[in-house]
Structure 1
Amino acid sequence: MIVSSKMGAEADVMFRHQVVDVMSISTQVSRFDSVAACAETIGDAAIETSVVKFVPRIRSGSCADIGPRRSMEDEHIRIDDLSSHLGSIINPLMPSAFYAVFDGHGGADAAAYIKSNATRLFFEDFDFPQVSDIDAVFLKALEDSHRKAFLLADLALAAESSVSSSCGTTVLTALVLGRHLLVANAGDCRAVLCRKGTAVEMSDDHRPSYLPERKRVEELGGYIDDGYLNGYLSVTRALGDWDLKFPLGSTSPLIAEPDVKQIVLSEDDEFLIIGCDGIWDVMSSQFAVSLVRRALRRHDDPEECAKELVNEATRLNSSDNLTAIVICFSTPARVESCPPQRRRFRSCNLSEEARNRLKSLLEGN
């Protein structure tokens, strides 16, 4: 399905009304003290914070499992070389990659549709900014384009006859361009960066229990009932679910507008984990980071790491579908097993009398 010009105009109107000026978000940098080059300050200072010209070496692995559910509603995308898919849109001399996880609800159709049309929806249906020079202007345009892509994808679901109006999906995307990482999230999937072994959360869980979201919902006339938005949905942001958003243009507490965070990657940034809520319902961000870091030092295989995350979530009795992607930015230092050492005993000097007594005892005298 091609998004009509009318839908594009509607998305543009929604975008202009919903998007705050990203440059003003620089006052919130203190929330991310652990991130040296904070995403939400995308002025010149953010670009220049990383003195060392670190170039990520991108490798990834993924694992998805139905878990204890009767049907699989998770989907994911893993593209380590984005330029090979998009051609001239992306500079082939620069590392580029795109990853996404989709957690469907009310059926699998919405998540499957967004996955199948992701390249068009996120890069082709509008003017994706040309990568000539990664500066503050480009990063602002990149963030704006990604926000608009979420809104266009939401409108596309409204117009897609094969997707029920009661069907929806959460979406989290991670885009790497050179040393820059952009994470956009609408829903309760999560992205966690490992920085020198410490977990740095690159997304917020859009759930009724998250106070800023609860406040936003209530200000828009919605309510929280037993942990559910309007007594119906366990997330406060999602694509689709148009039975909660109609008529088009009306104010709904359920929105598709993503939160977007950007950082400049450095040699301290080891890997990124993104996963659906089936993973995060049973383990903390730091637990997941520590598990993956140990595993990488053993075998340096992100695919195996993703499997270990899913297996651990299963062991911890996750009740949901399970999807995890591990994206490595560098090769970890291997922990070499040390060869066994001979035990050393402290020697002592015996007197002549003691030696004679010991000899006598040994000879049975």
Structure 2
Amino acid sequence: MSRILNTSTRSEMLNKVFKSLLISGLLVYAIYIFNNSWFYTSILTKTTTHFSHSSRPPPNASHIVFGIAASSNTWNNRKHYVQSWWRPNNTRGYVFLDKIHGDMLPWSNDSSLPPFRISKNTSNYYRDYDKHRVPQAIRMARIIAETFDMEKEGGARWYVMADDDTVVFVDNLVDVLARYDHDDYLYIGMNSECHSSNVFHSFEMGFGGAGFVLSYPLAKALAANLDVCLKRYPTLYGSDHIVQSCVADLGVSITLERGFHQIDLHSDISGFLSGHPRSPVVSLHHLDHVDPMFPWLSREESLKHLMQSAAADESRLLQQSICYHTPKNWTFSISWGYSIQMYQLIIPPSALQIPLQTFTPWSKFATPFFLFNTRFPSNSNNPCHFFLHHHRRRSNYVVTTYRPHASPPCADFFSQILVLSPAPKYDVNLKRVPRHQTRGRMGGHVSQQQTRKRARGPTWKARFPPMRWGHPIGPRAPALKGATELVRWCRWMAEICCGLVSESEASCETSSRAARRRRMELRRVRVDPAVKRRRLELCSPRGCDNAPDSSGADTEEGAASQVASSSENGRQLPPIILTPILTPLLLGSGTKDFLPKFGIASVCGRRRDMEDTVTIQPSFDAAAGLHYFGVYDGHGCSHVATKCKERLHEVVKEELLLDDDVRESRNSTDWWKCVMERSFTRMDKEVVAWNQNVDDNISVTCRCELQTPECDAVGSTAVVAVVTPHEIVVANCGDSRAVLCRNGKAIPLSTDHKPDRPDELSRIQAAGGRVIYWEGARVLGVLAMSRAIGDNYLKPYVSCEPEVTRTERSEEDECLILASDGLWDVVSNETACGVARMCLLKGRVGVEPEPAEDGHGSSDKACNDASMLLTKLALARRSADNVSVVVIDLRNPM
């Protein structure tokens, strides 16, 4: 029995030993697994990518090498940009020129500029890079390799590539790069603000104008492989796109920093700068292409003025602060060192963070136009603008003074606003908000607020009733506190509606550039063919010297025309802007008995720019009794639509004369189709050839940049009607439309060319293109129509071939309507015909007909009223596009 017990005890002990060994082995194995680099995962570890743990000293400006791409043709006009930020004996870098002119020497005498270098000869790459007209891109891309070769032994940590018109804020750049480890492979930059620029190039690209940064390891690898990349990508347009592709091939993607600004914008960028994101401003570019940052100064003086603020406190420059004065319902948005926007109502910070759209996009090729949200000024939230006047440094504070300029009347009550900022450097990454003071002077009385520290941040205490502040954004600053007795605010409330005020009710400010841009104008044309004295008169509304010009200002013998105009008060920015479009009337002596009566109206609507054009050519072929009407809806810019307006009717006439010997065949649909197809094709080739000669075609009236590839992305739709006593021939290319009203019924004479139309979709796909649904069907996700004149960038997917219809005239015909898609997007064919028919049947709505000066009735009043009423209807239904309408009365005896 004892032997059995001993055996069982021994077995239990062995079991316990085996269990202990098994558990110990599992623990050792688990420890090995979690410590082995083969099984490492970043999910279980905290990421520290953006912070350097190196024991090296913190970075400074001497650790950054700049490679500045310049051209000998533009250097003398742009070198002041480099001078504004270059620091001799502190910053390192070179200016790379294609060649040197004698007037640039001796360079060494100007110590305010970096040393220059002549780029190496790159002609051996031209064979592989002959698909573009910009071989300079090779030279600019190789600046990276040349800069690295010269500075690789100098202890550089970062390499920055920029253009000669780039303004760099060096201290902020050093602070931004201090957050990264320069031993990593890093490619730092920012996209363009304009959507179309990113579509042309790449959303993964750091734009070279804004500047991009390469860490030392990446610059070394890129310099060693750059020549291979240049030969690999011979079709890429820009040097920055080539660099981005090479960087991507090395396995590195872009790290976005919002402080780099390409400024692919036009016009007034004060709204953009006043809503700067909470990130240190690192660079500004394209300042030659925008209005001066300070309205009363030139571009060069504005830059000097801004750099003075940067010298006082670069870390706070353009950083936004938002605060409220609830007793008076005041809101203040402060962009430090630049401007203050004052609102006479409470606006939440979520809205004020969105930039005020005072600017226009670089190109309208792709929508939406910007990569960020924007808001439009209106009568209720149009701010008073104060711009930086001067600054001075006190013992522990920097005092910046802002004064009003060209603002609504509320600014007249304030002579200046003072902002007091602590002298210590501002760190945008800190969670806490630094304390500030603000003083305001109103009517000679100065009010001042003191600050004291609280647990939840600073609050404001003064001799006046307490102030409450909203949620802070960036460095917090209080707004102005008014005097005891305030003058009651006068708010400008403009009537924004389809009706127009009379001449006596509206004022005109000829000195205001904004007034010229914002004025609401509408002009009507009346034609009476019965009048013997043929003259075209143009009356300027309200006697304004700066009224918009009209293409019909020239006097022509052939028809007596009268223009009645009225406008709305232009002091405020209305959401509807009406722009006149008028074409001279050329009536030949051989006009047939049939002469159509017509009316036109063309309005800019809620768009910033007018891109529609209209052509009216009665009796453009007098021998055959042909009358030409055309509506052209431009996109990207207006210069293609303007070119069509000037030339397309002439091209059609030339094609008609070519087949003059077969005039009897004009009743053939195939013949008209052949004529129109040849005409549209010729027009398309002329536009492409005209765009390619960009140096000779730049016009001060053109709002786009006429340089590749932007000019290739501009196009226009075209709907053309040739009216004779017996037939109507319509040629359509795009999404404008022609509709015939016959016995009260709407008959479409054209079909919109949309990318998702089955036959158009098949044609695009057969050509190798794609239709992407992004806010509707678009060719390659860009263009919302499948046919247009121009748009060379999207050939062959976008065709210029028109669809031609020929319709026999009937006694039941009442009118023909030609209009751009700004009308048809919100008004149906039936509704449009109903409105036009009502005007034609009842004459001028609500107003008795006015006789002409010679006693004859003004026979086209009804057409004018119909066209204007249709544009008003489109605007009332919130049409977001330009609206152009032509109404042709077809009730003449045939």
* TM-score, normalized by the shorter chain, greater than 0.5: yes
Q: Is 1:58–2:605 an aligned residue pair? A: no
Structure 1 counterpart SS, 2:660 = coil
CA distance, structure 2, for counterparts of residue 186 and residue 319 of structure 1: 21
Aligned to 2:794: 244
- Residue 174 in 1 paired to residue 174 in 2? no
Shift of 1:259: 0.3
2: CA distance, partners of 1:171 / 1:244 = 17
**Equivalent of 1:106 in 636, 648, 657:** 636
Q: CA deviation at 1:215?
A: 2.2
Residues 166, 136 of structure 1: alpha-carbon distance in 2 compared, 3 angstrom cutoff: closer
Tell me the residue number matched to 1:259.
803
Aligned ranges 1:191-206 → 2 under 5 Å: 191-206=738-753
Structure-2 separation of matches of 1:267 and 1:135 = 23
What's the secondary structure of 1:282's corresponding residue? coil
Give the deviation of 1:130 after TM superposition.
2.3
Equivalence for 1:76: 614
Shift of 1:210: 2.2
Aligned-residue offset at 1:120: 2.7
When residues 126 and 192 of structure 1 are mapped into structure 2, their CA distance, relative to the original with a 3 A threshold, is closer
- Relative distance call for 1:132 and 1:148 in structure 2 (3 A) is closer
Q: Which residue of 2 aligns with 1:235?
A: 785
The one-letter code matched in structure 1 to 2:794 is L
- Alignment check: 8 A CA contact 2:634 2:641 kept: yes
Deviation of 1:115 (Å)? 0.8
Contact 2:600 2:885 in 1 (8 A): yes
**Map of 1:295 onto structure 2:** 839
Identity of aligned residues (%): 29
Gap change, CA 1:179 and 1:137, over 3 Å in 2: closer
Assess if the C-alpha contact under 8 Å between 1:214 and 1:224 holds in 2: yes
SS, match of residue 295 in structure 1: helix
Partner of 1:330: 891
Structure 2 vs 1, CA of residues 125 and 195 (structure 1 numbering), >3 Å: closer, same or farther? closer
1:277 aligns to 2:824 (yes or no): no
What displacement does 1:280 show? 0.3
Whether the aligned pair in 1 keeps the contact of 2:648 and 2:680 (CA below 8 Å) is: no
Distance verdict in 2 for CA 1:292–1:276, change over 3 Å: same
* Separation in 1, partners of 2:684, 2:740: 27
SS of match in other structure, 1:64: strand
SS class of match (1:305): helix
Partner SS, residue 319 of structure 1? coil
Q: Is the 1:181–1:265 contact (alpha carbons within 8 Å) kept by the matching residues of 2?
A: yes
Distance 2:760 2:800 in 1: 13
> Partners of 2:757 and 2:778 in 1: how far apart?
12
Q: Name the SS for the 1:270 alignment partner.
A: strand
Which residues of 2 match residues 1-365 of structure 1 at below 5 A?
A: 57-83=595-621, 90-91=622-623, 95-124=625-654, 127-130=657-660, 134-135=664-665, 139-160=669-690, 161=693, 162=697, 164-226=711-773, 227-245=777-795, 252-299=796-843, 301-330=862-891
Shift of 1:323: 0.1
Say which SS state the counterpart of residue 293 (structure 1) adopts: helix
Q: What is the count of residue pairs matched by the alignment?
A: 264
Matched letter for residue 659 of structure 2 = P
Residue type of the alignment partner of 1:302: C
TM-score by length of 2: 0.29
**Any conservation in 2 of the 1:57–1:330 contact (CA below 8 Å)?**
no
In the TM superposition, what whole-angstrom CA distance separates every residue of 1:183-229 from its partner, at most 9, and x where no partner exists?
00010000000110100000010012322222221222211111111
CA contact (8 A) 1:103 1:169 kept: yes
Alpha-carbon distance, 1:132 to partner: 7.1
Q: Taking structure 1 as reference, are residues 189 and 140 closer, same or farther at Cα in structure 2, changes over 3 Å only? A: same
- 2:727–2:808 contact (8 Å) kept in structure 1: yes
**Which residue in the other structure is 1:18 paired with?**
none
**Residues in 1 aligned to 2:792 and 2:756: alpha-carbon distance in whole angstroms:** 22
SS of corresponding position for 2:713: coil
Q: For residue 82 of structure 1, report the CA deviation from its aligned partner.
A: 2.1
- Asked if structure 2 preserves the Cα contact closer than 8 Å seen for 1:170 and 1:237, the reply is yes
Give the counterpart letter for 2:724 in structure 1.
L
Q: Match for 2:797: what amino acid?
A: P
Distance 1:241 1:205 in 2: 17
Given that residues 228 and 235 in structure 1 are in contact (C-alpha distance below 8 angstroms), is that contact kept between their aligned partners in structure 2?
Answer: yes
CA contact (8 A) 2:746 2:829 kept: yes
Question: Residue type of the partner of 2:628?
Answer: F
Are 1:56 and 1:330, in contact at CA under 8 Å, matched by a contact in 2? no
CA distance in 1, matches of 2:889, 2:664: 22
Q: CA RMSD in A?
A: 2.1
Instruction: Give the partner amino acid of 2:739.
Output: V
Give the TM-score normalised by the residue count of structure 1: 0.68
| Structure 1 pair 292–128 and aligned structure 2 pair: CA distance change class (3 A) | farther
Is 1:56–1:329's contact at 8 Å kept on the other side of the alignment?
no
Report the secondary structure of 1:323's partner residue. Answer: strand
Question: 8 Å contact 2:756–2:771 — kept in the other structure?
Answer: no
Distance 1:205 1:124, change over 3 A: same
Moved more, 62-71 or 295-304: 295-304
**DSSP 3-state at the match of 1:81:** strand
CA displacement 1:53-79 (0-9 Å, x = unmatched): xx8551111000000000000001112
> Shift in Å at residue 316 of structure 1?
0.5
Tell me how far apart the structure 2 counterparts of residues 145 and 285 of structure 1 sit (CA, whole Å): 28
User: How far apart are the structure 2 equivalents of 1:191 and 1:231?
Assistant: 27
Q: 2:458 aligns to what?
A: none
Residue type matched to 1:275 in 2?
A
- Unmatched tracts of structure 1, length 5 or more: 1-54, 84-89, 246-251, 333-365
Cα distance, 1:293 vs structure 2: 0.4
SS of 1:314's equivalent in the other structure is helix
SS in 2 for 1:165: helix
- How big is each residue's C-alpha offset from its partner over 1:291-337, in whole Å with a ceiling of 9 and x where there is no partner? 110111111610111000001101110000010000111169xxxxx
**Structure ranking higher in helix proportion:** 1
Q: Which amino acid aligns with 2:743?
A: K
Please tell me whether the aligned partners of residues 128 and 145 of structure 1 are also in contact (alpha carbons under 8 angstroms): no
Work out which structure has the larger RCO, using CA pairs closer than 8 Å and 6 or more positions apart in sequence.
Answer: 1
Q: Distance in 2 between matches of 1:99 and 1:327?
A: 9
1:34 is aligned to none
Q: Is the 8 A contact 1:97 1:177 kept in 2?
A: yes
Instruction: State the Cα deviation string for residues 95-140 of structure 1 (Å, max 9, x = none).
Output: 4210001010111111011111223322226744328754467553
Distance, in Å, in 1 between the alignment partners of 2:668 and 2:756 is 35
Q: Deviations over 1:338-359 (max 9, x none)?
A: xxxxxxxxxxxxxxxxxxxxxx
Contact 2:648 2:679 in 1 (8 A): no
Q: Say which SS state the counterpart of residue 751 (structure 2) adopts.
A: coil
- Do the aligned partners of residues 126 and 326 (structure 1) sit closer, same or farther apart at CA in structure 2, a change above 3 Å counting? closer
Separation in 2, partners of 1:117, 1:237: 19
- Any conservation in 1 of the 2:740–2:813 contact (CA below 8 Å)? yes
Confirm or deny: 8 A CA contact 2:655 2:678 kept in the other structure: no
In 2, the alpha carbon distance for the partners of 1:316 and 1:130 equals 46
Larger Rg: 2
Aligned residue for 1:353? none
